[in-house]
Amino acid sequence: MIHDLIQIIAAFFGSLGFAILFNIRGKDLFWTAFGGLLDWWVYVLAGIWCTGDAFRYFYAALFLGIYSEFMARRRKVPTTVYLVVGFIPLIPGSALFMTMNFAFAEEWQNCVHYGLVAINTAVAIAGGIVVSMVLVNIFFSIKRKIREQSS
């Protein structure tokens, strides 16, 4: 439990550091970093129900996409401001490092294994973002149609 809490807090500060690096200002600085915190929290929570890492990354990316869309509309900034900073905790850095490490050591079986893990993670993240964008577009088009019918 404490280990998970430390990870979530670290995700916030890691995202905050990149938000500062990307020159995000004002209240958006906090809310983008908070997106990274929530994103990693969803990843940790998904570990309770999902055994595979790919599903955990998918659900975290799905949540981040929805969060980014709604916050971008609320704060009137581009969605990518929230997406890019929120993705920082999800980057499969260890798998990428291990892939390169085994490639330089010429241990090809391990290199391929970790390379596939990194690709699997990237596909899960991309899938979560695509599904979230589709869901948000459906939500807002239904909301628009309801508004047009009522007026």
Predicted model pTM? 0.89
CB 18 within 8 A of CB 50: no
Rounded to whole angstroms, how far apart are CA atoms 52 and 143? 35
Per-residue confidence (pLDDT) for residue 97, from 0 to 100: 93
Confidence of residue 74 (pLDDT cuts 50, 70, 90): very high
Find all residues with CB under 8 Å of 98, minimum gap 6, and list them. 110, 114
Per-residue confidence (pLDDT) for residue 93, from 0 to 100: 86
Per-residue confidence (pLDDT) for residue 129, from 0 to 100: 95
